[in-house]
Amino acid sequence: MFISRYIYDWIKNSKQNPQYNDLIKEVMEFLRKRIVECVNSGIKKNKLIIDPGFGFGKTVQQNLALVKYLPELFSLDLPVLVGFSRKSTIGAILEKSANDRLIGSISLASIACWMGAHIFRVHDVKETADALKLCDAVKNS
């Protein structure tokens, strides 16, 4: 699985020293290259999803910027997965332990839902689903 190896190496290297000249541009370029490699290796584009890697090799401020500019990822024409659930960024901002980050996780999921994210990786499924139903109800009213 060469794609997984690329992602592993990128995450490993970026965690050691998370510096970006232009976070969104660099994440987008990384994802574009991986999409091309997947398609060139025979994977159909409609079988791919985008995961920008919230919490992996990024500072709190970089994670917040990734949320703020989430709509940029939609230009890749693939479903976008977000995984904020219980991340350390939430803990850093709210000063909460991992088990006390429910409201932060739901808040970020709701923001991402409002912005158009497609897939949500969560720990607290029932609570997040309720919040996303409300978000969708307002968006579609």
Taking only the tens place, the pLDDT of each residue in 35-46 is: 999 999 999 999
Indicate whether 2 pLDDT > 80. no
Q: Do 54 and 84 meet the contact criterion of CB atoms below 8 Å apart?
A: yes
Please tell me the pTM assigned to this model.
Answer: 0.85
* Contacting residues for 134 by C-beta, under 8 A, at least 6 apart: 110
User: According to the model, what pLDDT value does residue 18 have?
Assistant: 72
Q: Where are the domains of the chain?
A: 2-139
CA dihedral 37, 40, 46, 47 (to 10 degrees): -70
126 belongs to the catalytic site: no
- Given the residues 121, 126, 133, 139, the one annotated as active site: 121
- Given the residues 87, 96, 101, 139, the one annotated as active site: 87
User: What's the CA gap between 93 and 60, in Å, rounded?
Assistant: 8
Of 89, 137, 81, give the one whose Cα is nearest residue 109. 81
Distance, C-alpha 71 to centroid of its chain: 11
Q: Domain spanning 2-139: which CATH class is it, in words?
A: alpha beta
* pLDDT tens by residue, 56-113: 888 999 999 999 999 999 999 999 999 999 999 999 999 999 999 999 999 999 999 9
121 belongs to the catalytic site: yes
